[in-house]
A and B are shown apart, each in its own frame.
Chain A
Amino acid sequence: EAQVTQNPRYLITVTGKKLTVTCSQNMNHEYMSWYRQDPGLGLRQIYYSMNVEVTDKGDVPEGYKVSRKEKRNFPLILESPSPNQTSLYFCASSLGSRADTQYFGPGTRLTVL
């Protein structure tokens, strides 16, 4: 089944404790991205990747890192999480660009205390 998976689905952590949210897609898509969604602010793009080893900042990249060593995986890294990074995070992939049909993962609800 074609899908985007994210892990973990829920995470509660404390300020400053490094964490990684994994994202994987099995559709051989070139384009992958991370979004965060907050009430009243909608979906905002954090980082995106056009292909392996090619990443770029989205609208709200501060406090986040990403890597794209393999085509299927695009982990999101929070080196030193802070409470303002408490949010619902989505990973998405598409065939060639962000304007192509994007397939979203189930979401990761992160709480930073």
Chain B
Amino acid sequence: LAKTTQPISMDSYEGQEVNITCSHNNIATNDYITWYQQFPSQGPRFIIQGYKTKVTNEVASLFIPADRKSSTLSLPRVSLSDTAVYYCLVGDRAGNNRKLIWGLGTSLAVNP
């Protein structure tokens, strides 16, 4: 199983950079790393996906070291609206039947 481990919760303040690290020691060669954001009573929303090194889009950056056993989601200058639960998943985009496990995610609280 493609299991991931992330901190249960994190606290930050507006304007700070937040880094959430996820470990995935049993990541397979074909697995991609994907992060989602979820607000209360809403469906998860895709943030970013990567395979190796660094990926950046308009909302976040994803850093993946060479061994790919962990990854770090970086949110620059967070605001109150970034308070949410963040999930890290690893999975094979080729669509084989290995399970995609959603953990409990990291609950980020951004304070004024």
The interface of chain A, by Cβ under 8 A from chain B, is 4, 31, 35, 40-45, 50, 56, 59, 88, 90, 92, 96-107, 109
Contact = CB atoms under 8 A, between A and B. Distances in A.
Interface in B88-105: 89-97, 99-100, 102-105
Contacts, number: 63
Nearest to A102: B46
B62 to A, nearest CB: 13
A40 B104 contact: yes
A99 B102 contact: no
Contacts of B93: 96-97, 99-100
A44 B102 contact: yes
B95 A31 contact: yes
B34 interface: yes
B41 A101 contact: no
Contacts of B36: 102
A88 B42 CA distance: 10
Residue of A42, A43, A44, A102 ringed by the most chain B CB atoms within 10 A: A43
Given A42-B104, A99-B32, A106 B95 contact: no
Given A40-B104, A107-B42, A101 B91 contact: no
A98 B91 contact: yes
A43 B93 CA distance: 19
Residue among A50, A88, A99, A100 with most chain B CB within 10 A: A99
Contacts of A103: 46
16 contacts: A41-B104, A42-B103, A43-B87, A44-B102, A92-B43, A97-B94, A98-B95, A98-B100, A99-B34, A99-B100, A100-B93, A102-B36, A106-B43, A107-B42, A107-B43, A109-B41
